[in-house]
Homo-oligomer: A and B are copies of this chain.
Amino acid sequence: MKYSNFFLPTLKDAPSEAEIVSHKLMIRSGMIKQSSAGIYSWLPLGLMVLKNIEKIVREEQNKVGAIELLMPTIQSSDLWVKSGRYDDYGKEMLRITDRSGREMLYGPTNEELITDIFQSHVNSHKDLPKNLYHIQWKFRDEVRPRFGVMRGREFLMKDNYSFDINEEEAKKSYDKMFKAYIKTFIRMGLTPISLRAETGPIGGSLSHEFQILAKTGESTLFYDKKLETLNPENIDPNELQSYYAAVDDQHNENNCPIPKENLKISKGIEVGHIFYFGTKYSEKLKAYVQDKNGNNIPVHMGSYGIGVSRLVGAIIEAYHDDKGIKWPTSVAPFKVAIINLMPDDQDCATKSLEYYNYFMKNKTDVILDDRVCSIGKKLSDNELIGIPFQIIIGKRDLKEGLIEFRNRQKNINKKIKVDEVINFTNKNLEL
């Protein structure tokens, strides 16, 4: 993509209502624009990151056999009345009356609808286990939406629902998802910390939340340092679930089950939550299957959420400095930025285009900054946007046969020979 053809409106200052760093940086880097309180348009750069995150989430779900479908955003109130949650949900649920006077709502979650889909089509234990998910926009009418996409009203969530014949099998499904979640977050360059959690309005007896470490996070976490050094190829959910982790109001210094030297403290942000809630919804919504003995029994269910749009903000909270964002390569909107400091200079333009064409041909996500603007603005915009690998082409350097290579994550600048740029960049991309 050439910057001149793109739509990437950077801002020097964030609006005053942006309180946290990810919100400020997302607005300044032209990723989002607020359209109403807690509701955002995703500008092209923001959408690219959102899609990269969505893709990783989807791939890890598909790998463990979860099946994707797509439920609508607008639901009828009927099933919610049956489950008993229509009143429980309170004002956070966006309630709508359609032209015929029917009570509708914008789905804040999908236990009811998926249970209804399941029960219409599955009636034998032979079709179990099943794990169905979708990645769909949800709405929660927060009383005070803030923190940008971290606590928006319209937000993108991946939610799964597992169906099993009994509690034992359901816990296997739970552990499978637990493992998939850890892998998902690690692939995004994050450090996930899993914590035993309350089940809240979803209900049930077993629940974990997943936080990721971020210096500027919203919660304070106390956890076993072993949780920081996981091998994604070898994750044992039961072992992981046995490690100590707690948020500050649960943690008691005098009663901590692990030795002080193993305890770590850090800020974190919640990005996922999983639940096992047995037959709570299957009984109310009649999701019964015939077991081996011919008896009709309610299925055991779990639900599993990842805040896809929230993750965009969370990753920025984890990876930024005072100049801007430092994208992990796996979710970066572009992997390589070619920054032509002198677009009017023939040599600079030719060399920039040469690199650009190479990466385009090799299907590396690349952006060429060909804007006519001051060198200062160009460099600061690129630090703000935070593409992992930046090839900076200047007139003086080029005369000496050099270009400047910037590793944004590590904050390292290095002059390298013009002929070595491609190989050097490719090596960095492979790491």
Contact = CB atoms under 8 A, between A and B. Distances in A.
A36 B74 CA distance: 9
A96 B36 CA distance: 14
Contacts of A9: 120-122
A74 B33 contact: no
A154 B98 CA distance: 12
Query: Interface SS of chain A: helix, strand, loop or mixed?
Result: mixed
A42 interface: yes
A102 interface: yes
Given A6-B67, A44-B68, A68-B44, A73 B137 contact: yes
How many copies of this chain are found per oligomer? 2
B75 A35 contact: yes
24 contacts: A5-B65, A7-B67, A7-B121, A7-B132, A9-B120, A33-B121, A35-B71, A35-B75, A35-B76, A35-B116, A36-B76, A39-B72, A39-B74, A41-B71, A41-B72, A41-B117, A43-B69, A46-B69, A50-B70, A91-B99, A94-B98, A98-B141, A99-B141, A99-B143
Contacts of A116: 35
Interface string A117-148: 10011100000001010000101010100000
Interface of A: 5-7, 9, 30, 33, 35-37, 39-44, 46-47, 50, 65, 67-76, 91-92, 94, 96, 98-99, 102, 104, 106, 113, 116-117, 120-122, 130, 132, 137, 139, 141, 143, 153-154
Which of A35, A37, A94 has the most C-beta atoms of chain B within 10 angstroms of its own C-beta? Answer: A35
A120 B139 CA distance: 26
B71 A113 contact: no
A90 to B, nearest CB: 9
A114 to B, nearest CB: 9
Contacts of A141: 98-99
Contacts of A67: 5-7, 44
Contact of A68 (B33, B47, B70, B71): B47
A30 B72 CA distance: 16
Nearest first, the 3 closest Cβ-Cβ pairs linking A and B are A9-B121, A36-B76, A42-B70
Contacts of A143: 99
Contacts of A92: 99
A319 to B, nearest CB: 23
